[in-house]
Amino acid sequence: MGLPIDVSLIVIELTNKINKGKVLCLGKQVLGFKVRDLINSRSKFRHNIDISAFDKINIDIELTQELFFNTLGFKHVDTLDVDEYEGANIIFDLNQENIPEKLTNSYDFIYDGGTLEHVFNIGIAIKSLSRFLKRDGVICHMNPCNGYIDHGFFQISPTFYFDYYLQNNFKILSSVIMEKSIGSQTINISQDLYRTYSSDYGIQKAIKGWVIFSAKKQNDSLTFINPQQGYYMAKWESDKQKFYSVEKKFDFGNYFILRRLFYFVFNFPFLLKRTIIKWIK
């Protein structure tokens, strides 16, 4: 589990205006960067996210999960895991349906830094996390969506989150694919990629990618439905699937020139193949 520097920028922006009571991390998060790196991210990633809260900290300190969230203003940081081997203070298996009462409606922010893809009963797990959230609480997922075969049980598509959270009356705050072929680059998602960009979009444009998805709970509900996939719901109603409503966009990255060169080299065989097929036809 981890909170990389580029994803930490998204978390900083997401938590800017929410209540800073309790945060829950799924697994102990490894950050692996110093305050200096976070401050230097202004120029490295060309972003305008407010990271001024970290300006008063010794720039040579390596950020930990607790220091990161405490600096953002959170008063309490919990860690949930299925085992205590990494020092989690809450031991709970997200495969289980019966959640401890003390966790219900308890958290202002939940961070899933690469846990959900390892939980076999993923539908049960996401419902439990929804119950952990307070009204107006925010959840942020960071999970593999491409290029991580056998990393966990699943590679997660944005539509999994869109359809679950929208059909359970959450507000969608952001949906980003962090493309990691060279450095990092954000790709904001607000539609069904498989059908709008063609089925080989994932191979061509997200060689290694994480989906970073965030949603806000808008009520006190503890009951959540199993969603149907939005594309097919629209088909059943003889309608066209609409664009998703997403509040925030994140546009930053690095190594722009190298990435364009890489895309050209990688995409050339696909383009050549299409040209040959068209010529044969």
Distances (CA, A) of 38 to 43, 116, 144, 212: 10, 26, 23, 19
Among 88, 31, 13, smallest CA distance to 248 is for 13
Q: Tell me, what's the pLDDT at 102?
A: 92
Per-chain mean pLDDT for the chain: 91
Lowest mean pLDDT among 37-46, 54-63, 96-105, 262-271: 262-271
State how far Cα 124 lies from the chain centre: 18
5, 58 Cβ separation under 8 angstroms: no
Quote the pLDDT of residue 169.
96
The pLDDT tens digits for 52-82 are: 999 989 999 999 999 999 999 999 999 999 9
Right CATH for 5-280 from 3.40.50.150, 3.40.50.970, 3.40.50.1860, 3.90.79.10: 3.40.50.150
**pLDDT value at residue 172:** 98
How sure is the predictor about 178, in pLDDT bands with cuts at 50, 70 and 90?
A: very high
Q: What is the pLDDT of residue 204?
A: 63
Name every residue whose Cβ is closer than 8 Å to that of residue 103 and which is 6 or more positions away in sequence.
Answer: 90, 92, 131, 132
Q: Percent of the chain scored above 70 by pLDDT?
A: 95
91: enclosing H helix or E strand: strand 90-91
Choice among 36-45, 88-97, 190-199 with the minimum mean pLDDT: 190-199
- Domain segments of the chain as ranges: 5-280
Q: How many CA atoms lie within 13 A of 1 on its CB side?
A: 21
Q: Average of pLDDT values for 30-58?
A: 93
The Cβ-side half-sphere exposure at 178, using a 13 Å CA radius, reads 24
pTM summary value: 0.91
Distance CA 153, CA 136 (A): 30
Categorize the per-residue pLDDT at 206 as very low, low, confident or very high, splitting at 50, 70 and 90. Answer: confident
Q: Would you state the pLDDT for residue 118?
A: 97
pLDDT at 176 > cutoff 80? yes
Q: How many residues does the chain have?
A: 281
